[in-house]
Amino acid sequence: MARQNPKLTSGVQHLMAVPYFILLMALLTLLLLSSTVGTHPTGLSILTLLVLVAGTNASNAGRRPRKRALVLGFFWLVIRWGGPYLGLEDSEMWSKLPFLVFLVDVTGIILIRVANRAIRVDFNTICGAICVYLLNGISWAVLFVLMEGWCPGSFSITGDTGSPSFQQLIYFSFTTITTLGYGDISPINPLVRTLSVFEAMAGVFYVAIVMARLVSVYVDRP
């Protein structure tokens, strides 16, 4: 029987002890690489799968959250790759629906756990708080993709008459949640405009209340 490498085992255990850090790396990878591989559906699907795996690993608050994550990930796989065989014309767009539910579910789980640890904050907790912020931005982007699919022409893009891509809506979402707002992508649909306002408010309140609280506790800890 082959012996296990104690250093490798220790390294794996250390990584498993910081699931939010792993999810944070997966989210940053999605954001960084979506602009280069996002035009290739397979590449974007691989990045999405990476987030699904890391998010499922981070949903370790109990059996039910983990099961929900696994079920939603399964539905994403079925719709994304089996959609053409199921008669779905745009399986890539429709697969965004279970992915959105997955993101919202994982965001809620992590936010509750981070809030419960507001007294004792460690590195993994800070990573979890950052994950919630990034998950929020990506969730809104996925919602905007669905809105554009259901109501074409919901966005106006300077110098472009086509529909915005997922990468462009990620860009729009994060410029909205940070209240940066360059204005090169603008919502036209009244509902999308309302959703954009809610996203901006959510981003401001989250940074002002949750992140500020956690960072202050982390800095002031003995």
Domains of the chain by residue range:
16-220
| Per-residue pLDDT reduced to its tens digit, 153-182 | 899 998 777 788 888 999 999 999 998 888
Q: For the chain, how are helix, strand and coil distributed in percent, rounded to 5?
A: 75, 5, 20
Q: Whole-model pTM? A: 0.86
Rounded Cα–Cα distance for residues 26 and 48 (Å): 9
Candidates 3.40.630.10, 1.20.58.220, 2.60.120.260, 1.10.287.70; CATH matching 16-220: 1.10.287.70
Rounded Cα–Cα distance for residues 200 and 208 (Å): 12
Rounded Cα–Cα distance for residues 103 and 125 (Å): 18
| Per-residue pLDDT reduced to its tens digit, 34-93 | 877 756 777 888 889 999 999 998 887 566 788 888 899 899 988 888 877 777 777 788
Q: Are 119 and 217 in contact (CB under 8 A)?
A: yes
| Per-residue pLDDT reduced to its tens digit, 111-145 | 888 877 656 777 888 889 899 999 999 999 999 99
